[in-house]
Chain A
């Protein structure tokens, strides 16, 4: 008989790492603030922009793990159950990062009036600008804030509901009727989450947070592109945590079969991201309309040229070549490497979505970016570790759990 070591205990080393990263992060932010926070508007914008893209990125990838759970639940999947709790634990970061993101937005829009981040908050400029004036029914601080609260709030609430439902599977064995009802209740909540996710990440939210950085520019693809970027990172994040726990001796039922399927997700959605990247880029390149090509001007021809193509290599060429092989997807070391690479790659993707719009002529990538990222990573390690320790790592009486145990990729 196999004993289930299903209760996670936070190792001391993990605490140290989390605290160290948070400390590095806070120090970087403080130094950054001292150096730039009171400087010219340009300097301030770069500082706040850096914090903003990091907070959005980390929040969205954590939210993508809940999307993963909900999507697989709706597809009546059973294979992921041995590690579903890991994905759930990561998603507890949504409200935490959400508050940070929201605070950053509050400062940018109301506190600092940083017009070079969101040009449309400058009332004088909008009054003179026919286009921005026309958009002001949508692009205005009130609607922006209301929509942000709604987005983050409902993700958090629905995510919490999914996690709460999951706990029920720890209590007692379920018979046929109870099991069916349990799965049905899961699909209802998952359905609500997916619908709200589609209305936010699939449409309005990225227009507000990211696309309006270039207030004149527009692309209908933009939100779906953002979704693809965060979802592939979310899968990589799950894989990374699963491998960590596996190395620590937990998750006995999870094996290379499950890792293989996570690898397939990472592979498939890396290609999907590339597909959306290509469709957006190629159509704008082909039609060559100045209103649209302006977006790619600093990115393809300006100082961000290197980052732009590096982004493509790291997020497309590397995954497609390395993850294509079956043996790579079943190898813990290679999967760790690829997961880190993909997470880093899409972090860079977010960087190049945001910063060239704020600082068109100077490349800003530097210690501050990595420092802020360290802060978020530290917070994530701290809180996700706590969330993992709060309940068993396997939902013992879930009706599909046995399918998951014998899953073959």
Chain B
């Protein structure tokens, strides 16, 4: 993990952001990410992101829950310790449907949420670099991976697209353990400043 060079531009309007994303991609710059205060519909497609397959994961967790419930209950009430309950057959399927349903939902919901947190790397005490502090408030922050190219050129390009407050940042892209109430020196910075 190392610090990388980025160019950050802020947008105030969705209607400016969308054409800008298109132009930036067309110009061949690599968008690291766009940080938005709310879910902007269609932005993921505009940026060329792949559809998430978190639904499929949810389906798989769900049928795991179904199988667990039916498997456990039928083993317990038919094999392990059969009891005559209300004169019903040992394999009393209608009476098991409620618990089966609940476990299906439980497995699916818990599994999906954990998958979500894992994929997005979200957890208590996780700290990430914030490019633009107001991007959780009212700013759409576009972050371009500058790589080895000239930042000034990108800055000019972004400004032409209507971005404000365009600047360059060196930042860590991953996450580390920490809290937000103190500044932290991450690692010993071994990279050489290029700019």
Contacts and interface: CB of A to CB of B under 8 A. Distances in A.
Contacts of B87: 288
B52 to A, nearest CB: 12
Q: Is the interface of A mostly helix, strand, loop or mixed?
A: helix
B45 to A, nearest CB: 12
4 nearest A-B pairs in the assembled complex, by CB-CB distance: A282-B94, A285-B94, A278-B97, A286-B95
A141 B95 CA distance: 40
Interface of B: 41, 55, 59, 86-87, 94-95, 97
Nearest to B59: A324
Contact of A281 (B55, B59, B94): B94
Most chain A CB atoms below 10 A, which of B87, B94, B95, B97 = B94
B134 to A, nearest CB: 28
Contact of A282 (B41, B59, B95): B95
Interface residues of A, number: 9
A286 B55 CA distance: 35
Contacts of A408: 41
Nearest to B97: A278
15 contacts: A278-B94, A278-B97, A281-B94, A282-B94, A282-B95, A282-B97, A285-B94, A286-B86, A286-B94, A286-B95, A288-B86, A288-B87, A324-B59, A326-B55, A408-B41
Contacts of A286: 86, 94-95
A236 B94 CA distance: 28
Interface string A260-287: 0000000000000000001001100110
A408 B41 CA distance: 10
Interface of A: 278, 281-282, 285-286, 288, 324, 326, 408
B11 to A, nearest CB: 23
A287 to B, nearest CB: 9
A215 B82 CA distance: 39
A288 B86 CA distance: 9
A288 B55 CA distance: 40
Contacts of B59: 324
Contacts of B95: 282, 286
A256 to B, nearest CB: 16
A278 B98 CA distance: 10
Nearest to A326: B55
A273 to B, nearest CB: 15
Nearest to B56: A325
Contacts of A278: 94, 97
Contacts of A326: 55
A34 B47 CA distance: 70
Contacts of B41: 408
Nearest to B98: A282
B159 to A, nearest CB: 32
A407 to B, nearest CB: 13
B172 to A, nearest CB: 37
Contacts of B55: 326
A285 B89 CA distance: 12
A310 B95 CA distance: 21
B54 to A, nearest CB: 13
A278 B87 CA distance: 20
A70 B86 CA distance: 46
Contacts of A324: 59
A286 B95 CA distance: 8
Nearest to A281: B94
B166 to A, nearest CB: 32
A282 B95 CA distance: 7
Nearest to A408: B41
Nearest to B95: A286
Nearest to B94: A282
